[in-house]
Amino acid sequence: MSTSYEGEQRSLASAAGEGAHGTPPWAPAAALSGAEYSAVELAQSEDRVFLLEQRDLPERERYLTVHDAAGVAEAIRAMVIRGAPAIGIAAAYGMALAARAARGEGAAGYAAAMQSAGELLASARPTAVNLEWAVRRALAAALEHAGRRGEDRAQELAELARTIHREDVAACRQMGRIGAARLPESGTVLTHCNAGALATGGYGTALGVIRAAIAEGKQLRVLACETRPYLQGSRLTAWELQRDGVPVEVISDSMAAWFMQKGEIGAIVVGADRVARNGDVANKIGTYGLACLARHHGVPFYVAAPWSTIDLATESGAGIPIEERSRDEIALVGSRRVIPAGVPTRHPAFDVTPAELITAIFTERGKLTPREIGRSVPPPG
């Protein structure tokens, strides 16, 4: 790993306490008992970023300290932090660190430094559009005000990153309220991967819908698919829900069809890494299979995603780049090899669920059918 970031033995509460939010806006709803935490925070000094080391969960809870944009990009690539909204926020904070590092530069040097940082951060992972969206937003602000004093430029980028963070939390809470109305009054909801506070600025997209429904008094339990090979469901989703006191059970990915066949699942709610203009959704590998099963068994299949995940410039799922990750993530479980040496693997990290398999998409702008996504705003250009 790069020396751009370093481990620190910090409790979730102590790291959050040094952040910029004061009372964290990502705290669970009052009706829930979970602790306060966020996957990413900018220090009050604005010279470093704290990233929750998600690869260590649930065994160990610690934050890494990142000092520059290169460290943020490396942490995103290595999945120290993951989840489409969360890596967008982390990238915005990375741009703030780049602006701080370039305080002594003139306008031209500052613009060049910010463009370089933006390219580095935006290329860290290809599928989640929030990453590119946040970098574009930060870079536009940086270039517009390149002629200002270095301290003023750095402060502006730090505040913009905090704004992006706050906006995401607000979007999660709003889509949670919107989506909660569609969940059953009682029963079991299935989710895949992790689309909770750890994957966002706080509260969560898919888990935000579930949290909001429970806060309203609905009697729900959750089945979390383990989500091979990175086990975000068993390691992260179960960790979050257990902290909140939400009844959760973990199943292997191959068990989902059985529970649908038995009539135990009342709804499926997942997050998204990119939503194309026609309503096709890229999400963690395995999502498409769940959507096919849901259609066969008559189970509503919902997607929760902030508007920053909507990519109106991509017409359909065919245009979404799908990240291929390391063979070792398939071949190893922890440090144990589970595939014979020399046997090749395939590892697409995401798949695309066609719009026709999706019951509705919850955004902070409302509940939309997939076909309404492209019609909800004027076309680009």
**Residue 322: helix, strand or coil by DSSP?**
coil
Residues 309/87, Cβ–Cβ less than 8 Å: no
What percent of the residues of the chain are helix, what percent strand, and what percent coil, each to the nearest 5? Answer: 40, 20, 40
Q: What CA–CA distance (Å, rounded) separates 236 from 62?
A: 14
The CA–CA distances, whole Å, from 75 to 19, 92, 125, 342 equal 19, 14, 11, 29
Catalytic pick from 68, 168, 273, 351?
273
Whether a cis peptide bond, with omega within 30° of 0, leads into 229 is yes
Residues 223/234, Cβ–Cβ less than 8 Å: no
* Residues of the binding site: 82-84, 125, 232, 283-284
Given phi > 0 = left and psi -120 to 50 = alpha, else beta, which region is 355? alpha
Whether a cis peptide bond, with omega within 30° of 0, leads into 300 is no
Catalytic residue flag (residue 244): no
* Residues of the binding site for substrate: 82-84, 125, 232, 283-284
All residues at 6 or more sequence positions from 211 whose CB lies less than 8 Å from its CB, including other chains:
28, 29, 32, 176, 203, 204, 244, 246
- Active-site residue numbers? 273
